[in-house]
Chains A and B, each alone.
Chain A
Amino acid sequence: MNDKAAMLKLEKLSRWAERLIDPRLQARVEALDTRLNEFGVDPWGFDPRYLKYALPLGALLYRKYFRVETVGIRNVPAGRVLLIANHSGQIPIDGALIVLSMLLEAEPPRMVRSMVETWVPTLPLVSYFFPRTGQIVGTRENCRQLLDREEIILAFPEGVRGISKTFSRRYQLQEFGLGFMRLALMTGAPIVPVAVVGAEEQIPSLLDFKPLARLLSMPAFPVTPFFPWLGPLGILPLPVKIRIYFGRPMSFRGDPDEEDEVMMPKVKRVRRTIQRMLRDGLKVRRGIFW
């Protein structure tokens, strides 16, 4: 009996919470092309019900805090796509914003699957919050199967090298991994180059204190004007203005099992394109915060 009352109360609470949510956001979640089973999840553990609550928060961050502008989002074709972007800013907010841009601005809205690190499943709460909101552990097999399902995958070929670099090397693309190109060749998915301008300044790392990073088994230990001096507060990103540029889709042909030397020129073409987009984006930018 007691349980029933509690359930009713919970239901009332969730109805009340739902009223707070912008109906336009709800409509966008419902417009997603998902293939859910009778329990409301897809085979990869994505559950749009989680998005209903996560998306309004994300939208706030996207629209009010970072005031994101996108250019060329129509360049993202329907069906399978590999979004290849530059990685920056010490914490992967750029990934979240690209995912949000496709949810909030693309027509029709689409769920981008970003590839998360293998420590994600080992953390309580995070372990299921990430998959329920559509994020997947980044293995090549996962990427291949998702692309075969006509999904969008977001990958940062620079990886940690990109996100952890110091402020002095901002907007200089680090070395690209080759995996994404093999994946594109294997699945025939077009590559859409993406340039994120602004995220480099969100947490300007003056120095990467490597010995401490190793000690804490972190990818980097950034020393910024605010971190570690202000403690955890210091890791809060500055309210920088972020612009996301989507380039024209690039298609590649070839044998995915070729030697690295054969892969390199193709990868370099993508890297050059993103570098050029970054340069162009920086040229038109007037300030960091507006």
Chain B
Amino acid sequence: MSPRKKTTSSRSSRAAEQRPIVIAGISGNFGRLLARRLHSDVPLVGIDKRPFKGKPKDVVHYQVDARRRRAENIFRHHRVRALVHLGLVHRPQPGRPLYREMNVAGTIKLLEYCRRHGVPKVVLVSTAAVYGPGPTHSNFLTEDTPLAGVADYPELQALIEWDMYAQSFFWKHPQIETVILRPAHVVGPHVRNAPTNYLRLQHPLTLLGFDPMIQLVHEEDLIQSILLALEPGIRGIFNIDGPGEVPLSAVLKELGRRPVPVLQPLAKALVRRLWNMGIGKFPPGELVHLQFQCMVDGSLARRVLGYRPRYTLRQTIRSVL
């Protein structure tokens, strides 16, 4: 038995466990992983417009848009114990506005259903990128840092909007235990997001003369933090940091990559051109992560949730291989 199983079954009562957990965004790479880890312990209900490939038999999946009436029926028919919303988008793609995928409107609806049908717990997985990398930032940003984002990255703006809406929901509805998780760059064998796509390149582009410190969170450690957030009594905003901090160059060296250093203005123009042409996989707004650091202070999660990364720094880095 994994230790993860013990934490879920020992603290919450048997009756509560029969009530399902709804996972919004279950068909994504991370959503499917989370479902596979959880389905044998708790009844799971998935909401996602996309089909769920390789769905475990005991997971109930509704392939609906959260804004449709059918979505509310899910909350009406199941006595939902918690909503886990995987807000973090793993694969920003050229030509597809992120806000559509983010579905801020859909989230507003889902939270409204939770309020109407007395769901006691909501866990929203945001990202530390909402703070935005910047030269004036403190090295370890705390949860009360303003969400500055990145100036010319409209896609991130939707995510910030989403995070802020979740915050206002947290303040407006004290009867619901709302948890917002803001993990640093999530990596792992199943994840396909901007950081992992970048780290999987044989010749990744770097910015000449810049080598920011970065934090990485293993996908399994993020799952651990979600499980801890589901515990009764936990509410609030938590940064989730990784097992340590390393320069980007050390990560690339560990992975055996051969970085191609490019002058920053040149790199910016190049990446934007490629992205607009639909060839580049790397969103130009992410480039600033190669220039400035965007690290979080994870001490609150360690203190309140009892979160401890189980993967070492080296294991976490190598997980993208």
Contacts and interface: CB of A to CB of B under 8 A. Distances in A.
A119 interface: yes
A45 B213 contact: yes
Interface string B95-111: 00000000000000000
A127 B313 contact: no
A137 B213 contact: no
A37 B247 CA distance: 12
Contacts of B313: 37-39
Contacts of A120: 135
B244 A45 contact: no
B20 to A, nearest CB: 40
A119 B292 CA distance: 12
Interface in A130-145: 131-132, 136-137, 139-142, 145
Nearest to A120: B135
Interface string B264-302: 100000000000000000000000000111000100000
Contact of B209 (A44, A127, A131, A140): A127
Nearest to A128: B211
Contact of B245 (A45, A119, A124, A142): A45
A234 interface: no
A137 B138 contact: yes
B12 interface: no
Interface in B305-321: 312-314
Contacts of B293: 121
A41 interface: yes
Given A124-B208, A127-B209, A131-B213, A41 B246 contact: yes
Nearest to B241: A43
Interface size class of A (residues with CB under 8 A): 20 to 34
Contact of B314 (A38, A44, A122): A38
A125 interface: yes
A118 interface: yes
B142 interface: yes
Contacts of A47: 247
A142 B138 contact: yes
B209 A124 contact: yes
Interface in B242-261: 244-247, 250, 254
B140 interface: yes
Contacts of A118: 135-136
A167 B293 CA distance: 39
Interface string B109-143: 00000000000000000000000000111111110
19 contacts: A37-B246, A39-B254, A41-B213, A41-B245, A41-B247, A43-B139, A45-B139, A118-B136, A119-B135, A120-B135, A122-B135, A127-B211, A127-B212, A128-B212, A137-B135, A137-B138, A139-B137, A142-B139, A145-B139
Q: Lowest 6 A-B CB distances belong to which pairs?
A: A124-B209, A121-B135, A141-B138, A128-B211, A125-B209, A139-B138
